[in-house]
Chain A
Amino acid sequence: MGARETTERDESLVRLRALAEEQAALRRVATLVAANPDPSQVFARVCAEVGAVLGVNSTNLTRFEDDGTQNVLAGWSAHGAPVFPVGPGVPLEGDAAVAKVSRSGRTERVDDYADLSGELPERIRAAGIASAVAAPITVAGRLWGAIVASSELPNSLPAGTEERIASFAELVADALASADAREQLAASRARIVEAGDAERRRLERNLHDGAQQRLVSVALILSEVEAKLDSEPEPALRLLESARGELALALDELRELARGIHPAILSDHGLGAALEALVARAPVPVEVTALPRRRLPESIEAAVYYVAAEALTNVAKHANASGATVGVTLADGCARVKVRDDGAGGAELGNGFGLRGLADRVEALGGRLVVESPRGGGTTLSGEIPLG
């Protein structure tokens, strides 16, 4: 075996080992990501793994901010090597690798920082960096930030460095997306619990201030009647009349409250009848444009009903509208509800507990709720729920 063959075999062994190490590093990061850690843990780990795998002097992970700057969130350096400092408010202009990524959304490189002008290249040079490759981190289609691998020597980062960093950037994106999803889920859970508690408080208050007070009054009136029955029959009779009046009011209030908890007509007679009843009670004229001919699963009927009920409540309360339409259609395996009014507009999902709570209800069924409400242009609330 010649010396040349030996060298070639050694080289391919080295390449193979490097590839295996890279795969192992990716696997370690993937395992970490799967354990749903705080993203900052992933950032630090990725910087270290990328640095070790590529054999570079330093690495950074940075987030692009809306104000056109970057926030350097994590950094790693080989022992003693210089590194770009971590922190916010770092400029992104000029032809530094990371600045180019922020504009192109693709991997970029700078093989020699010596001739680049501008504040960022200057700060990079000051950190002892002579060349760098940067790869974008894209979360849910949006350019989020970048991973940068840097060397203290110019022209020292081989071709292919881009792709190798990009594999790690994808894992970071996964970690960020899943952290974001967890955050949204936790927020929606908290809102659902809060909405439940608020509803219980409202019910207790309504019962206490309404029917309960009326029944207390009836009990007191009856005890007076009892006392007067023999000696003062005329006033006793008048008291009985007022007791009957109080009872009628208590009944009305209980009926109204029960309907607010869950409209019996919805479970007994379905969405069509419930919506017709809802529309009949609405304070502005409401036209029903379409209704499903068949019963839908209970949870979907309830969600559609509450979308319509909340929308019509808002129409009455805020919209200053002269009329509205409600339509429920079934198509493409979805139930769609649309409530439109000709009022003032300006409604948003975020600006009312009612609408946010409704969106949570619809999203819990795998659907979505959209509000279109230009100022002065009326409001359209559209819900779409898969029939599953």
Chain B
Amino acid sequence: MHESVARAAPGVSGGLHVSRGTGSRIWPRGFPRDNVAMSITVLVVDDHAGFRRCARSVLEGQGYEVVGEAVDAASALTCARKLRPQLALVDVYLPDGDGFEVAARLAALEDAPTVVLISSHDRSELEPLMPGSAARGFVPKHELSREAIEALF
């Protein structure tokens, strides 16, 4: 049943799409699903170079296209405006601000990316803060994977 719903709304056209296999989850606008060749563009926002390097490697290995890296809140906004990524992975604690605030400001951009917050803190600390935020959800840094990101939709 879910399969058929998904197939009924394929591709990357505007609006919200129901993802395959999880009828209640929703793809953000512009997310390709069945077409693997067209990878999702990602901006990684984190002040730790080591993490950005690993995240890029993991994400690219799993079919994402990391189009940019930003080290703080200010450069996150600049990069998002310039690169127009579909997805932004934003660390909750940035040297010049708070990931929730960055999520809200990113969400207000034209052609806004979907924001997923990341942190080395665990789910129990951050998930209670998610409702009402502009972020799609939260993924602990050490669990970062395509599967964990897609589970949010």
**Chain A interface residues (CB < 8 Å from chain B):** 208-209, 212-217, 219-221, 223-224, 227-228, 246
CB distance from B121 to the nearest CB of A (A): 9
Asked if B128 lies at the interface with its beta carbon under 8 angstroms from chain A, I say no
Pick the residue among B53, B93, B145 that contacts A223 (CB under 8 A).
B145
Residues of B within 8 A of A227 (CB): 61-62
User: C-beta contact mask, B43-74 vs A, less than 8 Å → 1, else 0?
Assistant: 00000101101110110011000000000000
Q: Once bound together, how far apart are the Cα atoms of A217 and B145, in whole Å?
A: 13
Known contacts A213-B50, A220-B54, A220-B55: A208-B120 contact under CB 8 Å: yes
Q: Once bound together, how far apart are the Cα atoms of A364 and B93, in whole Å?
A: 37
Residue of B nearest to A212 (CB): B120
Residues of B within 8 A of A220 (CB): 51, 54-55, 57-58, 141-142, 144
The answer to whether B120 and A217 touch across the interface, beta carbons within 8 angstroms, is no
Q: Once bound together, how far apart are the Cα atoms of A215 and B51, in whole Å?
A: 10
Most buried by B among A220, A224, A227: A220
Q: Once bound together, how far apart are the Cα atoms of A324 and B5, in whole Å?
A: 77
Q: Once bound together, how far apart are the Cα atoms of A208 and B61, in whole Å?
A: 26
Q: Once bound together, how far apart are the Cα atoms of A15 and B27, in whole Å?
A: 101
The answer to whether A219 and B48 touch across the interface, beta carbons within 8 angstroms, is no
Residue of A nearest to B142 (CB): A219
Q: Once bound together, how far apart are the Cα atoms of A214 and B58, in whole Å?
A: 15
The answer to whether A216 and B61 touch across the interface, beta carbons within 8 angstroms, is no
Residues of A within 8 A of B50 (CB): 213-214, 217, 246
CB distance from A298 to the nearest CB of B (A): 35
The answer to whether A213 and B57 touch across the interface, beta carbons within 8 angstroms, is no
Residues of B within 8 A of A216 (CB): 51, 54, 120, 141-142
The answer to whether B61 and A215 touch across the interface, beta carbons within 8 angstroms, is no
CB distance from A247 to the nearest CB of B (A): 13
User: C-beta contact mask, B93-104 vs A, less than 8 Å → 1, else 0?
Assistant: 100000000000
CB distance from B18 to the nearest CB of A (A): 27
Residues of A within 8 A of B55 (CB): 220
Residues of B within 8 A of A208 (CB): 93, 120
